[in-house]
Structure 1
Amino acid sequence: MGTIWSPDLEGKSGPKYQRVADTIRTAVDDGVLQCGTKLPPVRELAYQLRITPGTVARAYTLLTDEGLLQAEVGRGTFVAEKQSRVLDDVWSRELHLQEARDPHHVSLFSPRMVDVGQVSALRQAMEQVSRGDPLLFLNYPTRDAYLPVRQAVVHWLEGQALGPLGEADVVLTHGGQNGILTVLQTVLRDPQPVILVEDLSYAGFRRAAELLRAKVLGVAMDEQGIVPDSLELAIRKSGAQVLCTSPEVHNPTGLFTPLKRRQEIVEVARRHGVQIVEDDCYRMGEAKAPSYRALAPDMTWHVFSISKNLTPALRVGFALAPTGRSQDLRRAAEYSYFGLAQPLAEVTRILLSDPRTKELAREVRREMAKYVRVAVNALGGFELVWNDEVPFLWLKLPAGWRSAAFTRAAEAKGVQIRSADEFALRDGRAPNAVRICVNGHVSLKRFEEAMQRLRTLLDNPPEQISV
């Protein structure tokens, strides 16, 4: 069956062969080009588009290698039958939950994502990049070259309460931590600036501050997050320039800051001209309240990554500048590291542009939630903060245990967890608690066994309290 399909490349960016390939993919996905449809001959399509036959041939080869098209000698090029395509509706899992060399040892230090098809998706994206324009592998990064990637990021964030957002507001970073550091480099001034964080907070805030020779002070928090009165007092005493916070999923406690409290915090920060750095890297599901960037788009720097949604292996993050500050943020990134490697940026674009990737992220959440529920079933009799869309749990220890002693005892049983001490400021006081992360690289059975070991320890505190 032939076709009278005529593609339109207007409004598309990237190398011409890639634009042709993307247009064909869209036509297949939308049903305009159905299985078995014959595409125009190379020279005919090249004439229609006013490009070289070699460019069209390259696009056809790319899609044939992917399995979207099928070339038949003497007959032409056709849209492949669905069952013959390499790219199916759901990417296949490649990580088969294998036991470690030491099956007794389970690391719960940091979240490890279960593979629901990300490995396969990344392999295919990297293959596609490997066949890309040679200049992708030879040129320095440029702002124009990253335009399609930034557009893909904006598309990925559609529907989220992040305030006004265009591609110019997005800066690509080497993961969330690099995003925080880049933002602080943009914002901080004076010989020894002051940064405020929650009394218990992500250690990366402090590490970034140390690199910039900034002083870090803690702000009191309750079950809803930062206490506004304490924030006001801390700003007055210190002259702080920046507040670093994680309102949607607080790391390490998993607490959530509701809208009313966020509005109160914004009022305090605005009154004193304090910038807000919003770390959103641990949120896996939909936000439950508008972000600080939505509430205060002129003074909020939003940082997130795909580490907890898809994979931490790429080390790709994104920083969103406040209104009118995108040029400042971009300059800090360019002066610091020029930009992401172009092949890595292109892999990111392919991944975030594919409509199936959001379903991958949803499936990651569903699978990780199974681990969270296993942990809750084992440890739910204790004081536990958890959410099945957060890849860690916060456990307040019962009488008889101190966090340092408990983590040592757990490690002796083959389970590595983090003490609350690791999230407290050097001169601060840590609660008697531990953070337990989900490890999706081990089977549910092994994970449950690890939870049972922790349960046994909790039920049997030492006779003498040790520190």
Structure 2
Amino acid sequence: MSEAKFKQIAQTIISRITEGYYPPNSKLPPHRVLADELNTTPVTVAKAYKLLVEQNRVESFVGRGTFVCGESQLSRVIHASEDETEFNFSILQPCLSHNIIALQDGFQKAATRITPQLIGYAEYSGHQQHRQVGVEWAARYGLSGGTLENTLLTDGAQNALALLIEALTKPGDTIAIESLTYPGILAIASLMRREVIGIEMDAHGITPDGLQHVLQTAKPKVVIVVPSHQNPTGVSMPAARREIIAQLIRDSHTWLIEDDIYGFLNPAPIPAICNWLPEQGFHVTSLSKAISPALRCGFIKVPDAQISTINAHIRANIWLSSPFNYQVAAELVSSGMAFELAQRQQQLAQQRQQIAQEILTPETPHQHGYHIWLKLPPHWQPERFVLEAAKRHLLVSSGSYFAVHQPTNHIRLSLMSINSEARFREGLHQLKDLIDTCTTSTLPFQV
């Protein structure tokens, strides 16, 4: 068999991955099965698989088979488009047109507070008044025990997650995450060479039995949970489930990272899981989802015994976050405007959830968050749908990129990044038309 033959087969497999017939994390056919299908030999297929492993398109495991690599390129999942002709249902952010005037006022007031001390270096992860912002913000939405000493400042929640994973684990360690999870966590784990394992979920988040099983069998160093308006499923964990999860983690002596950036969207505050884990829980939140991603104001509430360690990692990575951005946050929080903006976004999210229910009639119940987890009909595969949607200037996120192990036939739709309600409705109607369109695409089998 010629060398070109196995390269052609590799290209056929890449085409199938791109088209969504082999989604991320799915298992490829055994060598002999694919060889019979493509009228070649198992040896040739094995060479094609080996080439794809070298190209980081697939992973092979002895005794398990060959799997399509999970997606770690966030640009494929989240599109921060500036093209006004596109309907961006991809990126999760507040509806920024509602916040601009308040942000302008906050920046102007902060500018009048500039002093050499404010714009210079600061000890201890930033100034006390800025750490106080984090204490007040997190306390408003369910966290107890935050102080000026144990609240540290980062460049947003993503930076906080990366710092914590770097500090609490080492390459090769296992991190337990929700079976459907935010791709940013998968990207961090991939870049830092940490192993991930998914925890079974139900309508209230990770299940106690699923967590118990993972804790006993995989013995992860860290468990990461998004308890409120989970990304991508949108589910929120009730207080009773949170307390059970905390008890299981406490008994296992592992660390918890609670990524609670959507807590402000709860109709009423729900106690943070970390409230029951003062010595093992790291609580992460930020202002990005309620006010603006541009502020880059993130907060970590850290167990007392870990303050110096996490501070050392912050200093080694960024030294400190921008004090000016935190001064803007301080102006907004002290005036109460930050909480008013958060309430406005919460109300708008509920309105857009209702509109999405009317137009798309998804199977999931009405929720309060920024997005919906939409199951596609059987005639659509997520990657194919994303490609066809893009042709119509509709940006959506394939559910495959959120799955830790198993493929899923969902897409995630952000409801907030389109500022105009009229365009929001127009985009939803176009999505509905596309969903109802039955495709008859065939597999790219030729080699």
Q: Same fold (TM over 0.5)?
A: yes
- Aligned residue in 1 for 2:379: 400
For residue 239 of structure 1, the aligned residue among 194, 219, 224 is 219
**What 5-or-longer segments of structure 1 have no aligned partner?**
1-99
The alpha-carbon deviation at position 135 of structure 1 amounts to: 0.7
Alpha-carbon spacing, 1:466–1:222, altered in 2? closer, same or farther (3 Å): farther
Q: Are 1:171 and 1:330, in contact at CA under 8 Å, matched by a contact in 2? A: yes
Q: Determine if the alignment matches structure 1 residue 309 to structure 2 residue 287.
A: no
For residue 252 of structure 1, the aligned residue among 228, 232, 238 is 232
Q: Determine if the alignment matches structure 1 residue 194 to structure 2 residue 174.
A: yes
The alpha-carbon deviation at position 157 of structure 1 amounts to: 3.2
For residue 433 of structure 1, the aligned residue among 410, 415, 418 is 410
Q: Are 1:285 and 1:365, in contact at CA under 8 Å, matched by a contact in 2? A: yes
User: Relative CO higher for 1 or 2, CA cutoff 8 Å, sep ≥ 6?
Assistant: 2
Q: Which of structures 1 and 2 has the bigger CA Rg?
A: 1
The alpha-carbon deviation at position 390 of structure 1 amounts to: 0.7
- Which letter maps to 1:307? S
- Which letter maps to 2:329? T
Q: Are 2:125 and 2:321, in contact at CA under 8 Å, matched by a contact in 1? A: no
Q: Are 1:254 and 1:386, in contact at CA under 8 Å, matched by a contact in 2? A: no
For residue 395 of structure 2, the aligned residue among 405, 416, 440 is 416
Alpha-carbon spacing, 1:145–1:318, altered in 2? closer, same or farther (3 Å): closer
- Aligned residue in 2 for 1:132: 113
TM-score by length of 1: 0.72
The alpha-carbon deviation at position 117 of structure 1 amounts to: 5.2
Q: Are 1:112 and 1:441, in contact at CA under 8 Å, matched by a contact in 2? A: no
Alpha-carbon spacing, 1:145–1:295, altered in 2? closer, same or farther (3 Å): closer
Q: Are 1:141 and 1:340, in contact at CA under 8 Å, matched by a contact in 2? A: no
Secondary structure (helix, strand or coil) at the match of 1:436 reads strand
Q: Determine if the alignment matches structure 1 residue 336 to structure 2 residue 317.
A: yes
Q: Are 1:156 and 1:353, in contact at CA under 8 Å, matched by a contact in 2? A: no
- Aligned residue in 2 for 1:29: none
Alpha-carbon spacing, 1:198–1:374, altered in 2? closer, same or farther (3 Å): same
Q: Are 1:136 and 1:342, in contact at CA under 8 Å, matched by a contact in 2? A: no
Instruction: Quote the Cα distance in structure 2 between the aligned partners of 1:159 and 1:419.
Output: 34
Instruction: Quote the Cα distance in structure 2 between the aligned partners of 1:415 and 1:307.
Output: 24
The alpha-carbon deviation at position 236 of structure 1 amounts to: 2.7
- Aligned residue in 2 for 1:204: 184
Alpha-carbon spacing, 1:413–1:384, altered in 2? closer, same or farther (3 Å): farther
Q: Determine if the alignment matches structure 1 residue 268 to structure 2 residue 245.
A: no
Instruction: Quote the Cα distance in structure 2 between the aligned partners of 1:335 and 1:237.
Output: 34
Deviations 1:98-153 (A, max 9, x none): xx8654x2111112422465322322332233333441465212239610111122
Q: Are 1:108 and 1:417, in contact at CA under 8 Å, matched by a contact in 2? A: yes
For residue 107 of structure 1, the aligned residue among 83, 88, 94 is 88
Secondary structure (helix, strand or coil) at the match of 1:167 reads coil
Alpha-carbon spacing, 1:259–1:367, altered in 2? closer, same or farther (3 Å): closer
Alpha-carbon spacing, 1:223–1:364, altered in 2? closer, same or farther (3 Å): closer
- Which letter maps to 2:147? G
Q: Are 2:245 and 2:273, in contact at CA under 8 Å, matched by a contact in 1? A: no
For residue 296 of structure 1, the aligned residue among 243, 252, 277 is 277
Instruction: Quote the Cα distance in structure 2 between the aligned partners of 1:333 and 1:355.
Output: 29
Instruction: Quote the Cα distance in structure 1 between the aligned partners of 2:147 and 2:284.
Output: 15
Instruction: Quote the Cα distance in structure 2 between the aligned partners of 1:279 and 1:256.
Output: 12
Deviations 1:192-217 (A, max 9, x none): 22101111111121222233332111
Instruction: Quote the Cα distance in structure 2 between the aligned partners of 1:151 and 1:102.
Output: 38
- Aligned residue in 1 for 2:438: 461
Alpha-carbon spacing, 1:328–1:340, altered in 2? closer, same or farther (3 Å): same
Instruction: Quote the Cα distance in structure 2 between the aligned partners of 1:243 and 1:144.
Output: 25
- Aligned residue in 1 for 2:42: none
Instruction: Quote the Cα distance in structure 2 between the aligned partners of 1:216 and 1:144.
Output: 29
For residue 230 of structure 1, the aligned residue among 190, 210, 216 is 210
The alpha-carbon deviation at position 465 of structure 1 amounts to: 7.4
Instruction: Quote the Cα distance in structure 2 between the aligned partners of 1:315 and 1:138.
Output: 16
Q: What are the within-5 Å matches in structure 2 for residues 335-374 of structure 1?
A: 335-374=316-355
Larger helix proportion, structure 1 or 2? Answer: 2
Deviations 1:27-72 (A, max 9, x none): xxxxxxxxxxxxxxxxxxxxxxxxxxxxxxxxxxxxxxxxxxxxxx
Secondary structure (helix, strand or coil) at the match of 1:339 reads coil
For residue 156 of structure 2, the aligned residue among 175, 178, 181 is 175
TM-score by length of 2: 0.75
Secondary structure (helix, strand or coil) at the match of 2:258 reads strand
Q: Are 1:225 and 1:256, in contact at CA under 8 Å, matched by a contact in 2? A: yes
- Which letter maps to 1:135? P
Alpha-carbon spacing, 1:127–1:159, altered in 2? closer, same or farther (3 Å): closer
For residue 123 of structure 2, the aligned residue among 132, 135, 142 is 142
Q: Determine if the alignment matches structure 1 residue 285 to structure 2 residue 262.
A: no
Q: Are 1:392 and 1:435, in contact at CA under 8 Å, matched by a contact in 2? A: yes
Cα RMSD (Å): 2.4
Q: Determine if the alignment matches structure 1 residue 446 to structure 2 residue 423.
A: yes
- Aligned residue in 2 for 1:85: none
Q: Are 1:368 and 1:440, in contact at CA under 8 Å, matched by a contact in 2? A: no
The alpha-carbon deviation at position 325 of structure 1 amounts to: 2.7
Alpha-carbon spacing, 1:448–1:180, altered in 2? closer, same or farther (3 Å): same
**What 5-or-longer segments of structure 2 have no aligned partner?**
1-81
Q: How many residues align?
A: 362
